């Protein structure tokens, strides 16, 4: 008798620990989990941007070269055709995409419930309005800090750091541009969330390594819903007018180009 | 039979090992601390239930507050600029001094009743108490450090490994827990034991005649901004200080970018004001007399000057006689909380 109890006890202990790993708190134990990789490409006219030699022209006829491009992706959610949502654990859901660092453009997600997903939602920046209710934003500090994504003078993150040089039409002298978008204080919140349909069904399975390719059309930072001309404003840091304009444009720049299961 | 029990114990030990962090059940006692809202205070802005202070969390927060390792030079701790005797200000310095004697541009603010404040610093650059320490820790003119490096330094100290594991369920030394511990320490710093409090709570104290006259004057001339029992409405305003060209501090505009916020600063609480000299965001005024002289005849006009200070006869400021100033100062001194500045729970040693 004792033997059986002990065996059952051991069995229960093992099971109870397994549950700790699923973050969606699914109660049925046969649920299985898989992984997913999100590949980000930062492109202009369908070509990966070139930090060394690239020269581009925006809708305001200004030619520009990009020296630095970094942005924060957060709060990833996968959605099924019936609208069920799998929310990636918020505390592990902050990522810095740095054009200069290949590895940063590949986000690996684990422990995703086996399911067929048709949509993805993610955030641009850090949703500070939720702090500290959905904790985890603070543990992104070291990464943000190493990448210069914290304002030095305020307790907040830069969501986008986009820097380089530009020339206006006919001019040969190039000037620097600095576009930093983030939120500061309680009033200026430039956090955005995008829900995007997947071009084909993403099926997460225990042993497979599916992949979703996300394209960021960088030209849209200047020209999308709004037009931002560098001649009008080349230095956007704490800017209640231009930062929201750029953040709105950023919210339109992402598309899903491919799903491979 | 014994053998089987060992297997069970063994399984228990390994069953969880697939998890990223080796979880060891906390067996040590870590009792919660009582966070009491004084009877004459409003509800706190800080959501205490999300970071309830515990004995160990508070102890850790205090240790971090006085820890020079949080600064690049190993010396400048939070407590270096926020000194308890002066209600946690850096009173000997007009503007704060940081690592390598680097000068800041602002006067260190007192730390008391933080749990009741909505935004932090003179311009509201931090919207949550938990996030506020990011500024001093990373600012070059303050502690000039980085979180990654602090985490490394703390991980090397067994006393911190122990304290973090006792204070937090996930036992980790990470930025979130560092910030939460500092907040646990700071929210417990409630100053509500001044003569004024005892009168407000009917605990037997009474104002002198001079103080009572000062209180009446204060209510009519000052309390529109220095409002309520916290002595601040927590808004940002321009009280007519001239712009110091050395700093050209934009005030609230630095945070919002809005012209209408130029040279506005957070209305400070006046609790413990007798101890927190020098005064104003840049510490330009040395005494309370200087402050009242500023309000009566030192004001400079500007587009954002608070309308309260614009009189119908086009003069600026608050009309006060010397006697009235003395009475207001006598009243302000009833806001001094000697028990708070002597409270050994908050002292370094």
- The secondary structure of A160-183, three-state, reads EEEEEEEECCCCCCCEEEEEEEEC
Of A14, A135, A186, the CB nearest to B15: A14
Q: What does each C-alpha distance from B282 to B84, B96, B262 come to in angstroms?
A: 20, 9, 15
pLDDT over 80 at A5, yes or no = no
Domain that holds residue A202: 32-260
Q: Give the confidence band of A170 by pLDDT, cuts at 50, 70, 90.
A: confident
Of B7, B125, B174, the CB nearest to A154: B125
Q: By C-alpha distance, which of B267, B271, B269 is closest to B236?
A: B267
pLDDT over 80 at A130, yes or no = no
Q: Which residues does chain B have within 8 Å of residue A10's beta carbon, measured at their own beta carbons?
A: 7-8, 11-12
Between CA B249 and CA B231 the distance in angstroms is 24
pLDDT in tens, A204-249: 999 999 999 999 999 999 999 999 999 999 999 888 899 999 999 9
Chain B contact for A235 (CB, 8 A cutoff):
no
Of B1, B19, B148, the CB nearest to A20: B19
Instruction: Average the pLDDT over A155-178 and give the result.
Output: 90
A133 within domain boundaries: yes
Between CA A99 and CA A110 the distance in angstroms is 23
Q: By C-alpha distance, which of A228, A117, A213, A112 is closest to A179?
A: A228
pLDDT at A128: 77
- In degrees and rounded to multiples of 5, residue A237 shows phi and psi of -125, -75
Between CA A149 and CA A141 the distance in angstroms is 9
| DSSP codes of every residue in B170-195 | T---SHHHHHHHHHHHHHT-----SH
Chain B contact for A135 (CB, 8 A cutoff):
yes
Q: Which residues does chain A have within 8 Å of residue B261's beta carbon, measured at their own beta carbons?
A: none
**In CATH terms, are B2-190 and B195-338 the same topology?**
yes
pLDDT at A173: 86
Between CA A123 and CA A199 the distance in angstroms is 19
Q: Say if residues B125 and B242 touch (Cβ distance below 8 Å).
A: no
Phi/psi class of residue A260: alpha, beta or left (left: φ > 0; alpha: ψ in -120 to 50)? beta
Which parts of chain B register pLDDT below 70? 1-28, 91-96, 99, 102
Tell me how many domains chain A contains: 1
pLDDT at B93: 67
Side-chain-side CA neighbours of B229 within 13 Å: the count stands at 22
A154 and B126: CB-CB below 8 Å? yes
Q: What does each C-alpha distance from A73 to A8, A99, B223, B313 come to in angstroms?
A: 44, 13, 45, 57
How many angstroms separate the CA of residue B78 from the nearest CA in chain A?
16
A226 within domain boundaries: yes
A14 within domain boundaries: no
A185 and B119: CB-CB below 8 Å? yes
pLDDT at B18: 40
Task: Locate the domains of chain B by residue range.
Answer: 2-190, 195-338
Chain B contact for A8 (CB, 8 A cutoff):
no
pLDDT in tens, A65-111: 999 999 999 999 999 999 999 999 988 889 999 999 999 999 999 99
Q: What does each C-alpha distance from A175 to A165, A231, A245, B127, B332 come to in angstroms?
A: 5, 10, 21, 34, 54
Q: CATH homologous superfamily for B195-338? A: Cytochrome c-like domain (1.10.760.10)
pLDDT at B87: 87
pLDDT at B104: 75
Residue B52, token pair as written in the block = 């309830």
Rg (CA), chain B: 24
Give the CATH fold of the B2-190 domain. Cytochrome Bc1 Complex; Chain D, domain 2 (1.10.760)
Between CA A43 and CA B60 the distance in angstroms is 47
Q: Which residues does chain B have within 8 Å of residue A188's beta carbon, measured at their own beta carbons?
A: 255-257
Q: Which residues does chain A have within 8 Å of residue B139's beta carbon, measured at their own beta carbons?
A: 152-153
Burial (Cβ within 10 Å: 0-12, 13-18, ≥19) of residue B252: buried
Of B131, B151, B256, the CB nearest to A188: B256
């Amino acid at each position: 008798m004792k033997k059986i109890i002990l065996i059952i006890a051991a069995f229960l202990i093992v099971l109870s620990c397994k549950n700790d790993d699923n973050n969606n708190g699914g109660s049925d134990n046969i649920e299985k989990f898989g992984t997913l990789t999100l590949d980000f490409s930062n492109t202009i006219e369908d070509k990966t941007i070139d930090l060394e030699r690239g020269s581009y022209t925006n809708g305001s006829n200004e030619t520009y070269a990009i020296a630095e491009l970094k942005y924060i992706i957060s709060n990833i959610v996968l959605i099924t055709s019936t609208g069920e949502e799998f929310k990636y654990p918020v505390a592990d859901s902050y990522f810095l995409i740095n054009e200069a660092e290949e590895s940063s453009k590949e986000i690996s997600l684990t422990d995703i419930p086996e399911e067929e997903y048709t949509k993805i939602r993610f955030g641009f920046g850090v949703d500070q309005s939720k702090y500290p209710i959905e904790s985890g934003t603070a543990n992104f500090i070291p990464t943000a800090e190493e990448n210069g994504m914290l304002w030095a003078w305020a307790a907040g993150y830069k969501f986008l750091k986009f820097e380089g040089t530009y020339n206006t039409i006919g001019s040969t002298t190039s000037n620097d541009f600095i576009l930093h978008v983030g939120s500061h204080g309680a009033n200026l919140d430039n956090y955005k969330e995008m829900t995007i349909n997947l071009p084909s069904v993403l099926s997460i399975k225990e042993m497979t390594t599916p992949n979703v390719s996300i394209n960021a059309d960088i030209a849209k930072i200047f020209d999308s819903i709004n037009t931002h001309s560098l001649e009008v404003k080349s230095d956007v840091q704490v800017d209640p007018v231009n930062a929201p304009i750029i953040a709105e444009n950023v919210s339109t720049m992402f598309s899903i180009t491919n799903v491979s299961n | 039979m014994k053998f089987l029990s060992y297997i069970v114990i063994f399984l228990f030990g390994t069953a969880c090992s697939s998890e990223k962090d080796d979880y060891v059940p906390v067996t040590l006692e870590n009792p919660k601390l009582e966070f009491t809202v004084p009877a004459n205070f409003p509800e706190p802005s800080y959501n205490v239930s999300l970071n309830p202070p515990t004995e160990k969390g508070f102890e850790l927060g205090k240790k971090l507050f006085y820890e020079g390792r949080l600064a690049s030079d190993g010396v400048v701790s939070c407590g270096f600029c926020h000194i308890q005797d002066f209600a946690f200000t850096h009173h000997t310095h007009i503007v704060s001094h940081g690592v390598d004697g680097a000068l800041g541009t602002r006067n260190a603010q007192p730390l008391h009743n933080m749990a009741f404040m909505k935004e932090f610093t003179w311009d509201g650059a931090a919207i949550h108490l938990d996030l506020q320490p990011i500024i001093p820790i990373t600012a070059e003119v303050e502690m000039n450090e980085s979180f990654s490096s602090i985490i490394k330094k703390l991980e090397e100290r067994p006393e911190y490994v122990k304290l973090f594991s006792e204070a937090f369920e996930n036992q980790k030394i990470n930025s979130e827990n560092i910030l939460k511990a500092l907040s646990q320490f700071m929210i417990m710093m409630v100053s509500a034991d001044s003569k004024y409090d005892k009168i407000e709570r009917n605990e037997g104290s009474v104002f002198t005649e001079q103080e009572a006259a000062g209180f009446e004057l204060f209510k009519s001339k000052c309390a529109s901004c220095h409002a309520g029992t916290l002595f601040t409405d927590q808004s940002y305003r321009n009280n007519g200080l001239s712009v110091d060209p050395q700093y050209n501090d934009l005030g609230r505009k630095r945070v919002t970018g809005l012209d209408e916020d130029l040279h506005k600063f957070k209305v400070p609480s006046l609790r413990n004001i007798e101890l927190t000299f020098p005064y104003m965001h840049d510490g330009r005024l040395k005494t309370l007399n200087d402050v009242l002289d500023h309000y009566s005849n030192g004001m400079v006009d500007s587009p954002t000057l608070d309308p309260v200070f614009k009189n119908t006869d086009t003069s600026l400021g608050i009309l006060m006689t010397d006697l009235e100033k003395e009475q207001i100062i006598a009243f302000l001194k009833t806001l001094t909380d000697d028990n708070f500045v002597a409270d050994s729970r908050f002292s370094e040693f």
